[in-house]
Amino acid sequence: MNIAEVGRQYGLSTDTLHYYERIGLIPPVTRNKSGFRDYNKLDCAWVYFIKCMRTAGIPVKVLINYVALFQKGDRTRPIRKKILIEQRELLAKRIAEMQKTLEKLDLKIANYDTTFFEYEKKLAQEEIA
Amino acid sequence: MNIAEVGRQYGLSTDTLHYYERIGLIPPVTRNKSGFRDYNKLDCAWVYFIKCMRTAGIPVKVLINYVALFQKGDRTRPIRKKILIEQRELLAKRIAEMQKTLEKLDLKIANYDTTFFEYEKKLAQEEIA
DNA sequence: GTACAAGCTGGAGTGAACTCTAGGTCAAGC
DNA sequence: GCTTGACCTAGAGTTCACTCCAGCTTGTAC
């Protein structure tokens, strides 16, 4: 798979794929005889993993560190696991916060359907609560 | 409530509060006779609202627009509602994606407890799937 | 009445994460 | 063999969302 195909597949620009590899966010990608990137299954798996993690808001720095540790082999497994657990917790917290905000938004949207006077009444009740 | 108290209350720096007001992310805050900000209930409600929305990842630009429309009065209610609904949908999508990533992370963490050979077996099964 | 902490404004600086540009290589079609 | 389009690298530029700074005013404690 060439870089354009991979970009299409995962919704990343070729610039971004270049960038990710350059900064070590994904390990060096397999090349063909003319030096062009030829993503194999494993390369694609990395791209996909990183894309998910980035979309979830996990910082580039953390992921670079994770990838670097991965490349150092098996003896870094415990640290890598710890990093994943840490990030899992942070992610769970972010999701919980966003879920709350979603509910607030739903309330606010519902308020847009109430008349001004109903709204005033609601406010007064909140005042009490 | 002065700016430092509001900052403490909502976990924002005074710099950020200044900035938010400067760019119109919150409407102009009430001032006391010496020109210092004196946040009343409504001012605080705005700060809280914006803080939630920003934490949920809603862009500054969108919120500035929303606040500006709000200040134009009642005739902008329909547009404002539309914006909120739009952002609600985007937020729901982001949450769903993050939820999926959370599950992927859990799987990955679980894999760290399997031995190398079990892992190979798992990979082989994925190959088939 | 003076030191000093907290507030004010406008503008410059920062860090994160891309995104774009320039100048080059490579392979396929005519 | 030459044009064209996709790829390459290194480095510069951009965007977003703050964060910091300088130079000023205000209110409180001694």
Per-residue pLDDT of chain A (129 residues; tens, 9 = 90+): 999 999 999 999 999 999 999 999 999 999 999 999 999 999 999 999 999 999 999 999 999 999 999 999 999 999 999 999 999 999 999 999 999 999 999 999 998 887 666 666 666 666 554
Is there a single domain that holds both residue A47 and residue A62?
A: yes
SS3 B92: helix
Is there a single domain that holds both residue B3 and residue B66?
A: yes
Per-residue pLDDT at A119: 62
B52 — contact with chain A (CB < 8 Å)?
yes
Q: Rounded CA gap, A57 and A62, in Å? A: 11
Per-residue pLDDT at A113: 82
Are B59 and B22 in contact, with CB atoms under 8 Å apart? no
- Check A97 against B55: CB less than 8 A apart: yes
Q: Rounded CA gap, B94 and A94, in Å? A: 11
Residue B100 has pLDDT above 90, yes or no: yes
Is there a single domain that holds both residue A33 and residue A81?
A: no
B63 — contact with chain A (CB < 8 Å)?
no
Are B63 and B51 in contact, with CB atoms under 8 Å apart? no
Per-residue pLDDT at B116: 65
- pLDDT digit string (tens) for B56-68? 999 999 999 999 9
- pLDDT digit string (tens) for B1-58? 999 999 999 999 999 999 999 999 999 999 999 999 999 999 999 999 999 999 999 9
* Number of other residues whose CB lies within 10 A of the CB of residue A26: 23
- Check B109 against A81: CB less than 8 A apart: yes
| Domain count within chain A | 2
Nearest residue, CA→C1' of D26: B34
Per-residue pLDDT at A23: 97
- Check A112 against B77: CB less than 8 A apart: yes
Are B121 and B113 in contact, with CB atoms under 8 Å apart? no
Q: D16 C1' – A60 CA distance, angstroms?
A: 16
Q: What share of chain B is helix, strand, coil (3-state, %, to 5)?
A: 75, 0, 25
CATH number at residue B62: 1.10.1660.10
- DSSP-assigned beta bridge partners for residue A37: A31
Per-residue pLDDT at B123: 61
Is there a single domain that holds both residue A91 and residue A101?
A: yes
Length of chain B: 129
Is there a single domain that holds both residue A98 and residue A125?
A: yes
What is the distance in angstroms between the CA of the first residue and the CA of the last residue of chain A? 60
Q: Rounded CA gap, B16 and B22, in Å? A: 10
Q: How far is A6 from chain B (nearest CA, A)?
A: 19
Is there a single domain that holds both residue B111 and residue B54?
A: no
Are A71 and A27 in contact, with CB atoms under 8 Å apart? yes
Among B71, B12, B73, B6, residue whose Cα is nearest residue B40: B6
* Statement: the CB of B6 is under 7 Å from strand C: no
Q: Which of A38, A55, A71 is the last residue of a domain?
A: A71
| B53, closest residue in chain A (CA to CA) | A101
Token pair 């972010």 is found at: A94
Indicate left, alpha or beta for B105 from its phi (over 0: left) and psi (-120 to 50: alpha): alpha
Long-range contacts of B1-5 (CB under 8 A, 24+ apart): B1/B38, B1/B39, B1/B40, B1/B43, B1/B44, B2/B36, B2/B37, B2/B38, B2/B39, B3/B36, B3/B37, B3/B39, B5/B39
Is there a single domain that holds both residue B34 and residue B15?
A: yes
Q: What is the mean pLDDT of residues B80-89?
A: 98
Per-residue pLDDT at B125: 64
Q: Which of A71, A101, A121 is the last residue of a domain?
A: A71
User: B16 lies in which domain range?
Assistant: 1-71
